[in-house]
Amino acid sequence: MPKRVPITVAHGDGIGPEIMAATLHILQGAGAELDIETIDIGEKVYLAGNSSGIEPSAWESLRRTKVFLKAPITTPQGGGYKSLNVTVRKTLGLYANVRPCVSYHPFVETKHPQMDVVIVRENEEDLYAGIEHRQTQQVVQCLKLISRPGSEKIVRYAFEYARRNNRQKVTCFTKDNIMKLTDGLFHKVFTEIAAEYPDLENEHWIVDIGAAKLADTPEAFDVLVMPNLYGDVLSDVAAQIAGSVGLAGSANIGEHVAMFEAIHGSAPRRAGQNLANPSGLLLGAVMMLVHIGETSVAERVHNAWLRTLEDGIHTYDVYKEGVSREKVGTKEFADAVVERVGLTPQTLKAAKYKPAESEATEKKQASPAQTRAEKDLVGVDVFLDWSAATANDLGNSLVGLNGNGLKLEMMSNRGVKVWPGGHSETFCSDHWRCRFLSELNGGTVTHRQIVSLLERVARAGFDFIKTENLYTFDGERGYSLDQGA
């Protein structure tokens, strides 16, 4: 008897319990060897006073099984409830969100009959670190963090995924023409890692035109990898243009634990009526079977499901007069898939999965350790909350604070240089960046010099709201210049 693989299952809210029952029925019918632990998450747990929607005992199960099949949940309305998905993702370090977006033409209506893309979204960094501050009356900020190890992990995952799934090309989207340091690092890491995969094509697009091309001609893409925010937006766009949000599953992969789910929510208005389409969760479960090494069961389930779609047996969300043959409920759809276990699709491409030796090899292939760059402190950006008069007035006052090895180099407002030599047309908010560099051209400065500058700034009555030290790394500038600089 093959060994049963322990997994943790949450039945969720709304349509969750129905689509989970249908999914587990199909997995069982296809011979999946699973040892299921059930946990409670979602609405009930939130309303019982747990603001994260998950009980401490549920974490123990997840740490034990390391595999989570999750139905959608309802986040109650009103403040104070934390997003369960974000909590699980961050707590368990699920760094890769993988979302295949496939069209099933001519069986499901779509404008893009040839679409077959997989979006690999970085899941932990970027603007989603949630570090936000209100700094002045007028200005708030959100910190965008991109790390080299984080970028290496996700980009390598995308290339490994492409190789394992017989894909031909990996495309990277960033906006590094504007965010030269953050998105620039992601792009640079992509170029470095792409060189290790000569068997796969690679390309980079600026995200705006890339997104336009994806929405217009998705068949031009294969596997896409991108930072968190672009991935969040574009994975929904891609799922929608493939035909239906009800048909897509997704995987959230970490180094220790992985979570599999449908991309849609708990659709409370459809709950309890045997109406919902279980396909999104089922395809999430197929990704789970591949992940735990039950690849032949994954193929059987996926192919039986494709054959069911081809046979025109559709739930209400996909059903179309003239295309579909029979409108069925959740349970009947699951039965129809089970009846077709062992069959393959006749028109659509049959699913084929490689046994996953993969995850282990991925870890072995960590990028070589970087040598530490020589880091020199060369100045400081002092941010001020100030709204008294013009940029020139402020510049002239700050020049009076020069000394002790530091001098005012320039000032910008919302990234636009306004001193020296600003333009009177530039709109200025109450948020000023004042750049002080060493008096000696290209010289280094000390923390002590910066502290004494801040004392002078405070004594002169200015409200400094934050500072950013300016460093070079092996002589390379580690900070951006200004527009107009």
Stretch that binds ligand NAD, among 70-78, 114-122, 340-348, 406-414 (CB under 6 A): 70-78
Pick the closer one to ligand NAD by CB: 99 or 164: 99
Q: Is 442 left (phi over 0), alpha (psi -120 to 50) or beta?
A: left
Pick the closer one to ligand NAD by CB: 83 or 177: 83
CA separation, residue 44 to residues 18, 39, 376 (Å): 17, 12, 53
Q: Which two tokens stand for residue 103?
A: 């069209």
Give the closest residue to 266 by CA, choosing from 44, 99, 6.
44
Pick the closer one to ligand NAD by CB: 72 or 100: 72
Q: Cβ 122 to ligand NAD, closest distance in Å?
A: 18
Pick the closer one to ligand NAD by CB: 42 or 395: 42
Binding to ligand NAD in span 219-278, by CB under 6 A: 246, 261, 264-270, 276-277
> What stretch of H or E contains 392?
helix 391-399
Cα-only R_g, the chain: 27
Binding-site member from 74, 136, 151, 182 for ligand NAD (CB under 6 A): 74
Do strands 375-385 and 431-438 pair parallel, antiparallel, or not at all (unpaired)?
antiparallel
Q: Which two tokens stand for residue 174?
A: 């960033």
Binding to ligand NAD in span 78-97, by CB under 6 A: 85
Pick the closer one to ligand NAD by CB: 220 or 245: 245
Binding to ligand NAD in span 153-212, by CB under 6 A: none
Binding to ligand NAD in span 282-321, by CB under 6 A: 317
Give the closest residue to 384 by CA, choosing from 470, 480, 479, 467.
467
What is the rounded distance in angstroms from the CA atom of residue 370 to the CA atom of residue 212?
36
Q: Cβ 237 to ligand NAD, closest distance in Å?
A: 15
Q: Cβ 75 to ligand NAD, closest distance in Å?
A: 4
Pick the closer one to ligand NAD by CB: 96 or 391: 96
- Asked whether 127 and 190 are in contact (CB, 8 A), the reply is no
Residue located via tokens 């047309």: 425
Q: Cβ 80 to ligand NAD, closest distance in Å?
A: 14
> What stretch of H or E contains 259?
strand 258-262
Give the closest residue to 250 by CA, choosing from 122, 101, 40.
101
Q: Cβ 305 to ligand NAD, closest distance in Å?
A: 14
Q: How many residues bind ligand NAD (CB under 6 A)?
A: 20
Query: For the CA atoms of 320, 321, 327, 330, what is the dihedral angle to 10 degrees?
Result: 10
Cβ-proximal residue to ligand NAD, closest one? 265
What is the rounded distance in angstroms from the CA atom of residue 18 to the CA atom of residue 278?
8
Stretch that binds ligand NAD, among 72-80, 150-158, 299-307, 379-387 (CB under 6 A): 72-80
For 20, phi then psi, to 5°, come to -70, -40
Binding-site member from 72, 227, 231, 379 for ligand NAD (CB under 6 A): 72
What is the rounded distance in angstroms from the CA atom of residue 308 to the CA atom of residue 263?
21
Q: Cβ 17 to ligand NAD, closest distance in Å?
A: 12
Pick the closer one to ligand NAD by CB: 6 or 265: 265
Q: Which residues pair with 381 in a beta bridge?
A: 435, 468
> What stretch of H or E contains 279?
helix 279-291
Binding to ligand NAD in span 16-35, by CB under 6 A: 19
Q: Cβ 42 to ligand NAD, closest distance in Å?
A: 8
Q: Cβ 232 to ligand NAD, closest distance in Å?
A: 12
Stretch that binds ligand NAD, among 73-81, 418-426, 448-456, 474-482 (CB under 6 A): 73-81
When asked if residue 73 is in the footprint of ligand NAD (CB under 6 A), the reply is: yes
CA end-to-end distance (rounded Å), the chain: 70
Binding-site member from 75, 165, 358, 387 for ligand NAD (CB under 6 A): 75
Q: Cβ 51 to ligand NAD, closest distance in Å?
A: 15
Pick the closer one to ligand NAD by CB: 19 or 154: 19
What is the rounded distance in angstroms from the CA atom of residue 415 to the CA atom of residue 176?
16
Answer positive or negative: Cα dihedral of 85, 88, 93, 99: negative
Residue numbers at the binding site for ligand NAD (CB under 6 A): 15, 19, 72-75, 85, 246, 261, 264-270, 276-277, 280, 317
